[in-house]
Amino acid sequence: MKKSSCLIFIMLFTFKTFAQSFSLSHSGTQYDSFENPVEQSFDKDLSRKYALNLLPSFSVFGNFNGEAQTAFKKYLFTQRLGASNFGNYTNTNNLVYGTDLYLFMFKIFKTTNYNRELGFSLKFKDEGNVRISNGTFVLLDDFRNFNENSYTNILNNKGTNQSYYQLAINYRENYDERWGFGAKFSILNGATYSKISINSSKLSIDSDTSYTANLQGQYRSSFGNDKFTYSKLFPNFKNLGAAISAGASYTSKKGLYLSLNIKDLGFIHWSKKSSIYDFADDITVNDADKPGTNSTFFSNFGKIINATERKKGFNSVIDSRTTFTVSKDFDFYRATFVLNKSFFNNEGQIAIINNLRKNAFNISINPVYDFISKWNLGSQLMIKSPNAEFYVGSEQVFPTYYFTKGFITQNENIGNGSPRAAFYIGLNVKFGKKMQDMGNADYIPGLNDKETGFVYKMGKKELRKAQKENKAIEKRARKNDKRNRRR
């Protein structure tokens, strides 16, 4: 098996990110309406009928916790491992990562009555969670860092990564002036899946130039022992699944807005051509003091797992979450509380989103408590009108800055604490006719036709009355346009 085929070699030293842009909760953006199907993305009497993303909506997040953070950053920035001093080689480090990319978002404002909205979207998502032992970092740096002749369970590692496409249709409407409901149904198409579990391990230092590692566990992959290439990320029809989201909202008499969303509860069935490997064997590396040691280790590991390959389909769950959100407007200030929790792991956040608005501009400062990375500070800039929106932000402002600076300068010592980063951006527009109630309409077919249609055939008295109504409509339209420019 080639080196890039094995999860431990792909994942342990490839930093990716995981989407977490919950700061857009209750923002009225197109992104929020697809993530939480009960959310409205149109303003009655102001918005136009259709909404479309001009650029792919992109959101990323990543977090690494553990004693090996300096060694981890050094590899990311320079592709070289550095020696680290660890008190316990069996202690593990946790890496959470992924990416969330809306390739297509299109929404229709069906009716102003009950604010009915119908949407279609295509999203690519990559998600993963890995636990890496300190001993793994030390071995792949230089086996001569070990002082003893043998060690037990210092190479135990676990990790899962999967990527997939999500083709979805969602619908929402108001039940009455207080309650709203929405749902999203998705067809999933799995792109890649890898999972490794090393449950037992031993390391023996045989001499100054060789060592032997005994590894016992299981590895499964959707692409078997083939070399990983980016073409494997293209859509296919081999690994299908489904997911459902549902949300409900309530607006109190005092203007308190609450919503509860069950997001992406679903699974993927990976085809029977997927590979499962059970391994329990020794990996001996000679001339380990020379360059290329890791390549030899990877190659030998591939040989022992290839001997046990069997083809079998299996199911995997996707990252499913529940989000509870409460918001209240106070003139130019909106306060939003968000509780976001994963169903199947410990990931989750509690955030207070402080939105300050002036016309079309919105700036937010958001303290966030993450269940993994603890306290963070987020910030967001949004320019939003009823028919266009642009937003950019991060839920981890300072760590993202230091991480980016360290990457640019290739200096792993920049910034304190665990390496983490977050970033999201989007640009959406609305077009088509303006969706208005008849009583507030800027244009009424026939009545606004001043020289054609039935207005032309009216008598003088009826014509004067219609012209007077036209002037009132035009005056109201100018006021609406002026108000739109201020938003």
pLDDT tens sequence across 190-214: 999 999 999 999 999 988 888 999 9
Kindly state the average pLDDT of the residues 467-483. 67
Tokens 């070990």 sit on residue: 146
* Residue 15 in this model has a pLDDT that exceeds 60: no
* Residue 46 in this model has a pLDDT that exceeds 80: yes
Rounded to 5 degrees, what are φ and ψ at 69?
A: -65, -35
Answer positive or negative: Cα dihedral of 442, 443, 449, 454.
negative
Rounded to 5 degrees, what are φ and ψ at 426?
A: -160, 155
Beta bridge partners of 448: none
Question: Tell me, what's the pLDDT at 5?
Answer: 37
Kindly state the average pLDDT of the residues 58-86. 81
Nearest to 143 by CA among 154, 131, 132: 154
194 sits in the region (left: phi over 0; alpha: psi -120 to 50; else beta) called beta
Beta bridge partners of 374: 370
Confidence of residue 105 (pLDDT cuts 50, 70, 90): very high
Q: Tokens standing for 92?
A: 């593990």
Question: Tell me, what's the pLDDT at 53?
Answer: 93
pTM of the model: 0.83
Residue 82 identity: G
pLDDT in tens, 338-356: 999 988 888 888 999 999 9
Confidence of residue 486 (pLDDT cuts 50, 70, 90): low
Question: Tell me, what's the pLDDT at 373?
Answer: 76
52 contacts 381 by C-beta, under 8 angstroms: no
**DSSP code, position 255:** S
* Residue 413 in this model has a pLDDT that exceeds 60: yes
Q: Tokens standing for 79?
A: 């592709």
From start to end of 206-270, where are the E strands?
211-221, 240-251, 257-270
Confidence of residue 467 (pLDDT cuts 50, 70, 90): low
Q: Cα torsion at 324, 121, 59, 361 (round to 10°)?
A: -80
* Residue 14 in this model has a pLDDT that exceeds 80: no
% of the chain with per-residue pLDDT over 90: 45
Confidence of residue 75 (pLDDT cuts 50, 70, 90): confident
Measured between alpha carbons, how far is 401 from 414 in angstroms, rounded to an integer?
A: 10
Measured between alpha carbons, how far is 131 from 79 in angstroms, rounded to an integer?
A: 20
Answer positive or negative: Cα dihedral of 246, 342, 390, 105.
negative
Confidence of residue 357 (pLDDT cuts 50, 70, 90): very high
Higher pLDDT, 448 or 480: 480
Least confident segment among 137-146, 152-161, 290-299: 290-299
141 contacts 5 by C-beta, under 8 angstroms: no
* Residue 453 in this model has a pLDDT that exceeds 60: no
Least confident segment among 222-236, 410-424, 428-442, 456-470: 456-470
* Residue 337 in this model has a pLDDT that exceeds 60: yes
Give the three-state DSSP class for 414.
coil
Kindly state the average pLDDT of the residues 394-411. 86
- Average pLDDT value for the chain: 84
User: What residues have CB less than 8 Å from 80, skipping those under 6 apart?
Assistant: 74
Confidence of residue 479 (pLDDT cuts 50, 70, 90): low
87, with CB counted inside 10 A (0-12, 13-18, 19+), is: exposed
Q: Tokens standing for 16?
A: 């990716």
Least confident segment among 9-23, 144-158, 337-351: 9-23
219 contacts 279 by C-beta, under 8 angstroms: yes
Give the three-state DSSP class for 400.
helix
Nearest to 355 by CA among 392, 390, 328: 328
Could you tell me the end-to-end alpha-carbon distance of the chain, in angstroms, rounded to an integer? Answer: 59
